[in-house]
Amino acid sequence: MLEIRGAGQRFNEAGWALRDISLGVAPGERVALIGPSGAGKSTLLSWLNGSRFPTVGEIVVLGQSLHRLNTSRRRKVQRQIGTIYQQFHLINNLSVLHNVNAGRLGYWPLWKSILSLLVPVNVPHCRQLLDQVGIGEQIYKPLTQLSGGQQQRVAIARVLMQNPQIVLADEPVSSLDPERSRAIVDLLTQLCSDRGKTLVASLHTVDLAQKYFDRAIALKNGRLLFDKPMAAVTSQDLSQLYESQDQD
Amino acid sequence: MFGLKTQKRSYLYSVNPNGKTLFWLVGLVVIVVVAIALSITPDQPWLNVGGFNQFWGFWVAAKTPDLSTSFLQLTTVSTLQTLAFAICGTVTSLGLGFGFGVVASEVWWQAIAPRWSWWLSRAVRTGLTVPRSLHEALWGLLCVELFGLDSLVGIVAIAIPFGAIAAKVFSELMDEVPRHSFEALRCGGAKPIAAFVYGILPAVSGDLLSYGLYRFDCAIRSAAVLGIIGAGGLGYQIRLSLQSLRYEQLWTLLGALFLLTAMGDFWSAALTRRQTNVVSRSKFRSKIPFNSIGYGAIAAVVITTSFIWVGADYGKLLSPVTYSRLGNLLVAAWPPDWLTLGTAWQEAGEVMLDTMLMSVVAIAIAGLGGVCFAFLGSQKLGQNDTSNFASSILPRARTIAVRGFLLVERAVPEPVWALLCLFVLFPGILPGAIALGIHNMGVLGRLMAEVVDNIDQRPIQALRHTGASATAIFFYGVLPQTLPQFLGYILYRWEVCLRATIVVGLVGAGGLGRIIAEALSSFHYAGLASALIALFALTLAADTLSQVLRRHLQANAAE
Ligand SMILES: Nc1ncnc2c1ncn2[C@@H]1O[C@H](COP(=O)(O)OP(=O)(O)O)[C@@H](O)[C@H]1O
Ligand SMILES: [Mg+2]
């Protein structure tokens, strides 16, 4: 489903932000990407959604090698990948409804996208998805009136609207308090397994990863430290992962 | 001007009078003095003593404006027509500005042609400098050639230059929008244009609206000038009354123009202030009784009525006749006939120099007057802390008088001031410069008075508590806060003055405008082309100089 083959990323002369990464993700898996900040988690996820190409190596999504595709083919693959961000990256000046509908932009013809801003289409479906993430009554509110947790729920509803086979989440709960974080991760993993979607999420808190995911991929200083079932992760692994980085 | 407003904060802090600034200031003063000396050339008579009778007659007529029912009716209809021109012109310019703003922005091209985005956006922006650098009156004259005397002239001539300026502002706003939601949409496979429409446009739509309102008072002034050229409305009636020497009617019309300008200023100020003061849009919405749909409906009705009521023949925009005329005009205009500017290069240079001198003298008059009146007309300055009504009545009366005077100055269009000057002055640089100076003094005075009213009062209070004299407070507390912004406005307005030399030239004041008027009346399009190219070059040079100076000023203020 997702495959990284010998990939590495170099941003400047200083060195490799990620190197020698090879791994594969099977359909329906729930993978937690863990590691200290600066380890390269965001970079790895940006490979997977096609917003960045690795300096060396190859990324294969749904059997297609991303950098070999032309733009419109790549866009078709990208429609099968939904991404949720730490800073939400929603559209502040639009209502919740339009933000959720934005998930369909890859499928709609242009005239429909523009028309929908004037006469919203797809409202019942939006409402249904928003109900599922628990904020159905906020549908007509401007996005800025929502709290951080609510906005992340909108982002999840948008991904559901996009209805991809793969969901990527880059630190989806880092800007939320612990109570809300747990609720959001719970919701996200639940929805993904209900619909048989593959989920890859980077997380900075190991306890959430251990509770909700079945596989752990650990990155440290741009290298793959370990990749094993969550149940097999030992406290030794974790202390090695998070110990001070200068000692390696 | 919009740019200046948003940068207000950086100007507000201290000006740093280092050696460089002093050098520039002294240089500017020298240029202005030389320009004034040159424009009053002693070998030619410049005072036309014979015209004083007419001049006097005009002022005497102020006592007896024509208030007959029929004329008042005509005035009302003409006023509404000018207002409608301004509304239609503004709306059209916003549409054009939006469309061209999109294709002038880098982010748009990044979406659809990433590799060429920089070049494509630069190309469009460069192309936009042409419509932007010609005065709306010139566009009006060219439109008259294409459409004949039709209300369409009034709309199109405002829409072209205003639209080009709006496009520049909008494209810069779009490029400033953070890209992350745009990028996020693209990652999800959204088509580039759809990602642009959802990820970039909503962030700037509010700014587009307030910018349009902000430009509305300028559009009213332009509509009046265009009327004089022949588009109809108040300007046209003013021209007829002037030509037939009916000064009583003229006063009535000027009164109407005064009211219209006052209304435009009021609305522009009220609405833009409300827009920019709003921190969160939602709060704004809940505070006012109408929801935005109500406002939208009113606006839609007013705009539609305006478009219908001006009675323009919109079919002419697409008719083959227009395009064959345009073709003929272009064919006749090429190659440009440089001899029109003068039989030798030296003569051509003199005409261009004259035009430049006119703008410099004009901005000197406008700037000096504007600064003085801004302080005189300020509400806060010179008032004591006491809120005693009796002692505040005098300053308040003074404020109202000064503001009224500034309003009169800018309500009367430049060509009308020029015609009045031409009663008593022989054609040349001087009458044009005075006319432009008076009109722009009115504009600058208002802008500067706003600056004075918005200055930080704390340093002034602090100085007062040290027992500083009023003069000392002025030089240490007030001037340092206001001067950088004043200079910024003056430079900006100087660019406008240079473009507007055309309007006063058209009525005979001199410079390139006069050559353009002559070329137009004799259908000498090749000559027109050469004059336009010369004017364009001059405008470009002035804009560049002004921009360099303003950037310098801003850098100093930010230090
Ligand atoms: N666009 C970029 N340019 C240069 N360096 C970058 C860029 N993006 C990330 N990096 C560097 O790559 C490393 C990994 O970053 P990132 O993937 O954001 O880590 P994480 O998400 O695990 O915190 C960091 O050292 C970061 O400084
Ligand atoms: Mg990160």
ipTM of model? 0.87
CA of B184 to the centre of ligand 1 (A): 18
Give ∠ CA A163-A165-A169 in degrees, rounded to 5: 85
Tokens 């070329």 belong to residue: B519
Give ∠ CA B292-B294-B299 in degrees, rounded to 5: 90
Do B188 and A79 count as a contact with CB atoms less than 8 A apart? yes
Ligand nearest to the CA of A219: 1
Written as six digits, the tokens of A125 are: 């479906």
Do B199 and A82 count as a contact with CB atoms less than 8 A apart? no
B155: β partners: none
In a 13 Å sphere around the CA of A95, the CA atoms on its Cβ side amount to 17
B85, B157 in Cβ contact below 8 A? no
pLDDT at B24 over 80: no
Give the CA distances from residue B344 to residues A176, B8, B559, in Å, rounded to whole numbers and listed in that order: 76, 46, 48
Do A113 and B197 count as a contact with CB atoms less than 8 A apart? yes
The angle that helices B429-453 and B19-39 make with each other, rounded to 10 degrees, is 150
Do B194 and A93 count as a contact with CB atoms less than 8 A apart? no
Tokens 């991904």 belong to residue: A159
Q: What is the C-alpha separation between B79 and B382, in angstroms, rounded?
A: 38
Res B84: pLDDT: 92
Give the CA distances from residue B143 to residues A175, B140, B515, in Å, rounded to whole numbers and listed in that order: 58, 5, 18
Locate the chain B residue with the closest alpha carbon to A50: B187
Q: What is the C-alpha separation between A126 and A99, in angstroms, rounded?
A: 10
To the nearest 10°, report the CA torsion of A81, A87, A91, A94.
120
CA of A210 to the centre of ligand 2 (A): 19
The radius of gyration of chain B from alpha carbons, rounded to an integer in Å, stands at: 25
B366, B497 in Cβ contact below 8 A? yes
Contacts of B407 (CB under 8 A, 6+ apart): B258, B261, B262, B265, B442, B446
Question: For residue A219, which atom of ligand 1 is closest to its CA?
Answer: 22
First vs last C-alpha separation in chain A: 33
Do A91 and B181 count as a contact with CB atoms less than 8 A apart? yes
Q: What is the C-alpha separation between A161 and B205, in angstroms, rounded?
A: 26
pLDDT at B68 over 90: no
Give the CA distances from residue B104 to residues A181, A195, B86, B404, in Å, rounded to whole numbers and listed in that order: 42, 44, 25, 40
The radius of gyration of chain A from alpha carbons, rounded to an integer in Å, stands at: 18
Q: How remote is the C-alpha of B210 from its chain's centroid? A: 17
Model confidence at B2, pLDDT cuts 50, 70, 90, reads very low
Q: What is the C-alpha separation between B234 and B80, in angstroms, rounded?
A: 9
| Superfamily grouping for domain B2-44+364-558 | MetI-like (1.10.3720.10)
Percent of chain B with pLDDT over 90: 19
Res B272: pLDDT: 58
Mutation test of the interface with chain B: which of A91, A92, A119, A163, choosing the one with the most B Cβ atoms within 10 A?
A91
Contacts of B268 (CB under 8 A, 6+ apart): B213, B214, B216, B217
Q: Which of B75, B7, B12 is nearest to B481 (CA)?
A: B12
Question: For residue A45, which atom of ligand 1 is closest to its CA?
Answer: 17
Tell me the pTM: 0.79
Q: Show which of residues 43-102 on chain A sit within 8 Å of chain B, judged by CB atoms.
A: 49-51, 75-83, 85, 87, 89-94, 98, 102
Task: Provide the CATH number for the domain formed by B62-325 in this structure.
Answer: 1.10.3720.10
Q: Show which of residues 163-202 on chain A sit within 8 Å of chain B, judged by CB atoms.
A: 164
Could you give the domains of chain A?
23-50+75-80+165-248 (3.40.50.300), 83-163 (no CATH)
Q: Which residue has the higher pLDDT, B336 or B184?
A: B184
A23: β partners: A4
Q: What is the C-alpha separation between B467 and B460, in angstroms, rounded?
A: 11
Do B191 and A106 count as a contact with CB atoms less than 8 A apart? yes
Residues of chain B with CATH 1.10.3720.10: 2-44+364-558, 62-325
A chain contacts of residue B186, beta-carbon cutoff 8 Å: 51, 78
Res B489: pLDDT: 87
| Segment B421-477, tens digit of pLDDT | 888 888 888 889 999 999 999 999 988 888 887 777 777 777 777 777 777 777 777
* Average pLDDT per 10 consecutive residues for chain A, totaling 248 residues: 92 87 93 91 92 92 90 89 90 89 91 89 93 90 89 93 93 86 92 93 89 93 92 90 66
Q: What is the C-alpha separation between A169 and B187, in angstroms, rounded?
A: 13
Interface check B282 vs A, CB under 8 A: yes
Q: Tell me which residue in A82, A85, A91 faces B198 most closely, judged by beta carbons.
A: A91
Q: Which of A163, A159, A166, A2 is nearest to A84 (CA)?
A: A159
Question: For residue A11, which atom of ligand 1 is closest to its CA?
Answer: 4
Residue ranges around ligand 1 (CB below 6 Å): A 11, 17, 35, 37-43
Q: Show which of residues 146-205 on chain B sit within 8 Å of chain A, judged by CB atoms.
A: 180-181, 183-191, 193-195, 197-199, 202-203, 205
The angle that helices B19-39 and B345-376 make with each other, rounded to 10 degrees, is 110
**Mean of the per-residue pLDDT values for chain B?**
80
Interface check B280 vs A, CB under 8 A: yes
B143, B152 in Cβ contact below 8 A? yes
